Amino acid sequence: MITDATPATTAASVFTVRSANQWIELASRRPDPKSLWLSLWHEGEVACLFADTNMGKSIYAIQIADHVSQSRPVLYFDFEMSDKQFQLRYTDANNGSIHKFTDNFMRVEFSPVNIDVSDLSGIISHISAVVDSTKARVLIIDNISWICNRAESGDSAGELMQLLIDLKRRKNLSILVLAHTPKRNTSSKLTQNSLAGSKRIANFMDSIFAIGASSIDRPAGRYIKQIKVRSSELQYGEDHVITARLIKEGDYISLQHTGFAAESELLVDIDDELANKETIKSLSESGMSIRMIAETLGLSKSKVQRILRQ
């Protein structure tokens, strides 16, 4: 019988060499990784969720954390929102009720005053300390772009990913990192290249999925696309993406899954984008405010501002 202690050829105590059959036999004795969220993220994986601004990636990540925390502790490292912003997002504006998460859901705030944000090793060391103190083995980091944009090195994304993978292996963790997309054409399909710093990040990931804007049910329509997978079959590729709708019901906001569709059916037509730009320009010249234009067309104020600047 082969065990982990079975003698193997070694090289300078760094590499362990066994036959392919030995590796398979040893691995088969351990349980298969369980799904944490559909087939998009499994135990023991470093996964990435990316989307453009205002697509709801933090909302979706908290939704995932809420689900996972029903059965195990989850650490949610929030580099985006203040505690007040978080509270307001999960408060019913009509009656003031606040959503109750399970105590397994632990949100972690980051204080850049107390650490050099260009010291990636230091950041990982502090994350490791939180893992040790809470005993949590599921981490969500929102988001990697915040850290890397503040690091001095242009290769900070790759360096950070290597440090996270090392942490995952040492602590037996499951990690989901959030990232932005650079400016992109919304009439194009989401791919690995849509991820900011794609070459430095994507190669390290076990799985990647993304949120895109849907031309159906605008402005709340979204779709979720599976882009990279290692632990299962690719279920939600371009021919079978998950359709969703950004919705707030009382004190809880989420991306509510509504079905499936081909990505090509959901992409925003370039002609629609051009029409929007002309309409925005016309409404602005007529004296309409940015807020009123946004409400009239079902767009975000930031998008209206961006188009007017262009």
Q: Tell me which H or E stretch contains 28.
A: helix 20-28
Q: Kindly provide the b/e burial profile for residues 131-152, where b requires at least 16 CB atoms within 10 angstroms of the residue's own CB.
A: beeeebbbbbbbbbbbbbeebe
Return the pLDDT at 53.
85
pLDDT in tens, 187-234: 789 988 888 666 678 888 999 999 999 988 888 999 999 999 988 889
Q: Against a cut of 0.75, is the pTM above it?
A: yes
Q: Which residues pair with 46 in a beta bridge?
A: 175
Instruction: Write down the architecture of domain 36-265 according to CATH.
Output: 3-Layer(aba) Sandwich (3.40)
Confidence of residue 298 (pLDDT cuts 50, 70, 90): low
Q: Which pLDDT score is estimated for 1?
A: 57
Whether residue 51 contacts residue 209, with contact meaning beta carbons closer than 8 Å, is answered with: no
Rounded CA separation 36/64 (Å) = 8
> In this predicted model, what pLDDT tens digit does every residue of 36-58 receive, in sequence order?
999 999 999 999 999 988 899 99
Strands 74-78 and 35-37: unpaired
CA 2 remoteness from chain centre: 39
Pairing verdict, β 174-180 and 138-142: parallel
More confident residue, 146 or 122: 122
Q: How far apart are CA 211 and CA 195, in angstroms?
A: 11
For the chain, state the CA radius of gyration.
Answer: 22
- Contact indicator for 263, 215 with CB cutoff of 8 Å: no
Q: Cα-flanking dihedrals φ and ψ of residue 158, to 5°?
A: -65, -40
Kindly tell me if the per-residue pLDDT of 142 is higher than 70: yes
Q: How confident is the model at residue 20 (pLDDT cuts 50, 70, 90)?
A: very high
Find out whether 38 and 241 touch, Cβ atoms under 8 Å: no
Q: Comparing 9 with 220, which gets the higher pLDDT? A: 220
Q: Where in the chain are the domains?
A: 36-265, 270-309
Confidence of residue 152 (pLDDT cuts 50, 70, 90): very low
Rounded CA gap, 283 and 273, in Å?
15
Q: Of 254, 258, 257, 213, which Cα lies nearest the Cα of 62?
A: 254
Other beta carbons within 10 Å of 215 = 16
Give the CA angle between residues 200, 122, 173 to the nearest 5°.
65
Among 126, 129, 122, residue whose Cα is nearest residue 150: 122
The yes-or-no verdict on residue 29 having pLDDT over 70 is: yes
